[in-house]
Amino acid sequence: MKFQRSDRIVFIGDSITEWGRWEDPEGIGTGYVRLIHDYLVSCDPKNFPEVVNRGVGGDRITDLLSRWEEDVIQQNPDYVSVSIGINDVWRQFDHPEMEQVYPEQFAEIYEQLLTRTIKKTGAKLILMEPTIIGEDIRSKSNQKLVSYVEIVGKMAERFQAVLVPTHSKFISFLKANTGKKVTTDGVHMNSLGNMLMAHTWIKAVESADQ
């Protein structure tokens, strides 16, 4: 996938995507979105795309639904990168009293958002698997997350989107037992976690050209 200077990539998701964008004059943040932006600029300083960060902390897919028109459709994107699902599962553990978003509803809303995006913008889709909840791959939260990861994979296949295997890469990294942490609290990325996300995104997108 080769980007052009006229292209606009909208990244949308939760706090993992948001990471520092409110404090950043460019609105890009300091997380994986920043690393992807800087990679694209450094690779082709005369022909890099515009990067728009629309991550909002705490968001579940129901929250994306409420702001999709403004934060995606009205941005007139050429590409839309979606990273969502962590809070849909995490809230089932840290706030069980809330109305929860279970896999069936997650899939229904995800499909609705992607259908609307294709119809209204024609943008190419880049779908990121939700990463991890805790750095123990055997935890109940990571086991419950699997259904949501599988839904993202099915959506990528249905909509002929680029699938970014972020969950798979994080699980593989944790299995390697490097002794290195990838999060600050089990969910939010440290610098290594952001690099792992960015590298996985770049590799998946670049492989889409082949």
Positions annotated as catalytic residues are 15, 185, 188
**Hunting for tokens 């599962």 — which residue is that?**
89
First to last CA, the chain: 8
Gap between the Cα atoms of 207 and 210, Å rounded: 5
Q: What is the dihedral of CA 33, 30, 138, 204, to 10 degrees?
A: 20
Angle at 174 between CA 173 and CA 180, to 5 degrees: 90
Q: What is the dihedral of CA 57, 8, 109, 131, to 10 degrees?
A: -50
List all residues 6 or more positions away from 81 whose beta carbon is below 8 Å from its beta carbon: 9, 10, 11, 12, 126, 127, 128, 164, 201
At residue 39, what is the residue type?
Y
